[in-house]
Amino acid sequence: MSKNDKQPAVLSGIQPSGQLLISHYVGAIRNWVAMQDTHDALFMLVDLHAITVRQDPAEFRARCYDFIALYMACGLDPEKSTLFVQSHVPAHAELAWVLNCYTYMGELERMTQFKDKSQRHEANINAGLFGYPVLMAADILLYQATHVPVGADQKQHLELTRDLALRFNNLYGDIFTVPEPFIPEAGARIMSLQDPTAKMSKSDPSEASYVALLDEPKQILRKFKRAVTDSDMDIRFDPENKPGVSNLLTLLSIFGDESIESIENRLAGSGYGKLKVETGEAVIAHFEPIVARYREIRADETGLDAVLAQGAERAAARARPTLQRVFDALGFLPRPNSLG
């Protein structure tokens, strides 16, 4: 049973690869924090997805703790939402195998992320990378999520999830909830500081293009001072013709808690230097208490393990009935009680 059967269920997660960026915070985590009070919320660390790219085991484990501590420092409350690690709930991998058997090769071959990642990792185009969207579908369908926060680059994967749910339901009855996308209207796409026509990404080879939550203040200010803008020096919000300036205005509005129109009027004639510095300072001020809280949480790995154990138990209890319904529909023999 959910914490409140009247609340819609929402599920989301981030891969523990690279670093958590301000774009993750704006596009995902701050929305998650708000949803804790309005939704039956499950938020996970999707570590199984991350191993489609080779990881250093020691660095990977440390980064997983880092991400969970940052989730909590940003405001995710394990008492309000289910906070867990994907690999701690075996049902994810079990359902993914079943759904693989109902997914067509052509559907996966059309996935643009597979094509993009294959070009970036030509020496390691593995089956996990190809089947990544099926595991993502399993993640969502296990928990009967009604809404899934997704960026524009994940909409194709969610469409596949919906197709798989409908396909399975048509064959076996009402097994899965068909999820709807949740796409925030404002601030969902934060752009690269060096190429403002591309989204800010932790996979960008240039560290100057993104701002990580754990960047030092001097580093953050330096990155903003070097942000690419344009040559006409007019501070106005115009994403098509002035993407760099528009990106800075968006960030200053979010982290400075001021409307874009107000910023435009206040900084008219000031030049880009002032806009860049104000944006950097607003970001630094916003994350200063979050980083301090992160350091407290991260220092207590025993406490983090306890949080994750609680989250895994709650998530597994939520996932088990769905997986059992799938197994029953397929005619699998009953699983011994001792195996859960």
Residue 10 is predicted with a pLDDT of 87
CA angle 265, 245, 283 (to 5 degrees): 85
> One of 3, 80, 202, 225 is an active-site residue; which one?
202
Residue 185 is predicted with a pLDDT of 59
> One of 3, 199, 223, 242 is an active-site residue; which one?
199
Spell out the domains of the chain, with CATH numbers in brackets.
9-183+300-339 (3.40.50.620), 207-295 (1.10.240.10)
Residue 153 is predicted with a pLDDT of 63
Amino acid in the structure at residue 1:
M
Number of neighbouring beta carbons within 10 Å of residue 219: 16
Query: Does residue 312 contact residue 84 with C-beta atoms inside 8 Å?
Result: yes
Residue 189 is predicted with a pLDDT of 77
Residue 319 is predicted with a pLDDT of 96
> One of 117, 223, 242, 276 is an active-site residue; which one?
117
Q: Chain-wide mean pLDDT for the chain?
A: 91
Block means of pLDDT (10 residues each) for the chain, length 340 residues?
A: 66 89 91 91 94 92 96 96 97 97 92 70 79 94 88 78 97 95 67 94 89 97 96 92 95 94 94 96 98 98 97 96 97 82
Residue that has been written with the tokens 């206040």 in this structure: 266
Q: Calculate helix-pair angle for 155-172, 301-330, nearest 10 degrees.
A: 40
Q: 117 an active-site residue?
A: yes
Residue 149 is predicted with a pLDDT of 79
The per-residue b/e assignment along 141-169, b for 16 or more CB within 10 angstroms, e otherwise, is bbbbbbbbbbbeebebbbebbbbbbeebe
Residue that has been written with the tokens 């079990």 in this structure: 94
Number of neighbouring beta carbons within 10 Å of residue 227: 24
Distance CA 201, CA 219 (A): 17
Its pTM stands at 0.88
Residue 120 is predicted with a pLDDT of 67
Residue 216 is predicted with a pLDDT of 97
